[in-house]
Amino acid sequence: MQRSTTSTVLVAGAALAAFVSAFSAAAGVSPVALAKEAQQPPPAGTPPRPLVPVAASSVANNPDPYVNEYVTMTGAVEANLSKTSFSVDQDKNKPTGKDVLVLAPTLQKAADANSYVTVIGQLIKFDEKDIAARLKDYAIDLSPADIAKFKGKPVVLATAVINTAGIDIAKKPIPPMSADDLALQKIMTKLPPAQGAVRKTLDSKDMAGAKEQATILKQAFTDIETFFKAKNNAEALKWASEGKNHAESMLVNLGLSNIEAAKTSITPLGATCASCHGKYRERMDDGTFRYKPDF
């Protein structure tokens, strides 16, 4: 068992490194990307609290102190139970009867049986309804017998599963940007600078400047409308039209030299960005974005 201690430490190190790199994914990226990063919510699965390191045996023996905690749990793979789930215990050579369930919705390949893994994620007590509520895009694929067996037992909802080679086998590959993504990106990247500039020019009562920026916003929203019309996405189209309307009222008020009235369009215009991003934009682990159609 000596080897186990060493590899456990190594694996835990790799797990931490994986997290650190998730946090600092922006490092080495342009300052613009960094600034953009600051406005983004943390990546899905980022633990809101410090990770608690724990051995599978401690969890199996006494799960209660760890319930709802985000853990880095080390253990040996006991059985692959489905495409996205496996159990771990403490001994890689024999079943201990003290298995802890791991659900890893993004698991890319089966974990090697009997080898050590470090699993990162929130620990809860297994309850089908609770899991359905927490993981909206995930369907439990355990057998009815396993569902019954693990009911009320500890389960880790894993966002990372690091194997002894230091590889996170739950890491989703990052798809290349499609032609649609690139087309949208071209429009989208015009918006934040124009929003900033319209605020500045309105504050400094630079009417010509404000008109120029509001026109850029209006044109960008018009282009977004065109994109989503072609996609038959009525909801996104509605948000794009709302944004365009706010840019238009800004232009109308600027035409009337009513700066205060023009300013009232800024916030609702920005709200359309958030609505659409909340539903149709997905952030990849490398900080890039994709259009996520609502099937």
The residue from 169, 184, 197, 250 that contacts ligand HEC (CB under 6 A) is 184
Among 224, 250, 251, 254, binds ligand HEC (CB under 6 A): 224
What is the biggest distance separating any 2 CA atoms in the chain, rounded to whole angstroms?
A: 80
The yes or no reply on residue 239 touching ligand HEC (CB under 6 A) is: yes
Task: By CB under 6 A, tell whether 283 contacts ligand HEC.
Answer: no
Regarding 185 and contact with ligand HEC (CB under 6 A), the answer is yes
Burial profile 115-154: b = 16 or more Cβ within 10 angstroms, e = fewer: ebbbbbbbbbebeeeebeeeeeeeebebeeebeeebeebb
Binding segment for ligand HEC (CB under 6 A), chosen from 108-116, 128-136, 141-149, 235-243, is 235-243
Residue 158 backbone phi and psi in degrees, to 5: -80, 135
Toward ligand HEC, which CB reaches closer, 41 or 144? 41
Partners of 123 in beta bridges: 156
Q: Is 283 exposed, middle or buried (0-12, 13-18, 19+ CB in 10 A)?
A: middle
Give least dist CB 181 to ligand HEC, A: 5
Nearer to ligand HEC by Cβ, of 170 and 194: the residue is 194
In the complex, the smallest distance separating the C-beta of residue 164 from ligand HEC, rounded to whole angstroms, is 36
Residue 191 lies near ligand HEC (rule: CB under 6 A): yes
Span near ligand HEC by CB under 6 A; candidates 42-50, 136-144, 178-186, 249-257: 178-186
**Two tokens at 148?**
């019954």
Among 19, 70, 116, 228, binds ligand HEC (CB under 6 A): 228
* Rounded Cα gap, residues 94 and 1, in angstroms: 12
Residue nearer to ligand HEC on the CB measure, 92 or 218: 218
Selected binder of ligand HEC within 103, 117, 243, 250 (CB under 6 A): 243
Query: Can you tell me whether residue 55 is helix, strand or coil?
Result: strand
> Rounded to whole angstroms, how far apart are CA atoms 289 and 295?
18
Name 233's bridge partners.
none
Is residue 198 at the binding interface for ligand HEC, with CB under 6 A as the rule?
A: no
Closest CA to 164 of 4, 20, 1: 4
Our CB check for ligand HEC shows the closer of 94 and 200 to be 200
Distance set, CA 49 to CA 91, 149, 277 (Å): 29, 29, 25
Cross-strand bridge partners of residue 158: 121
Q: Does the protein bind ligand HEC through residue 271 (CB under 6 A)?
A: no
Nearest-approach distance from CB 159 to ligand HEC, in angstroms: 22
H or E element, residue 190: none
Q: Is residue 276 a contact residue for ligand HEC (CB under 6 A)?
A: yes
If the CB atoms of residues 95 and 193 are measured against ligand HEC, the closer one turns out to be: 193
Q: Name the token pair of 59.
A: 């969890």
Q: Which of 188, 259, 261, 284 binds ligand HEC (CB under 6 A)?
A: 188
Give me the residues that bind ligand HEC (CB under 6 A), please. Answer: 36, 181, 184-185, 188-189, 191-192, 195, 224, 228, 236, 239-240, 243, 270, 272-273, 276-277, 280-281, 289-291
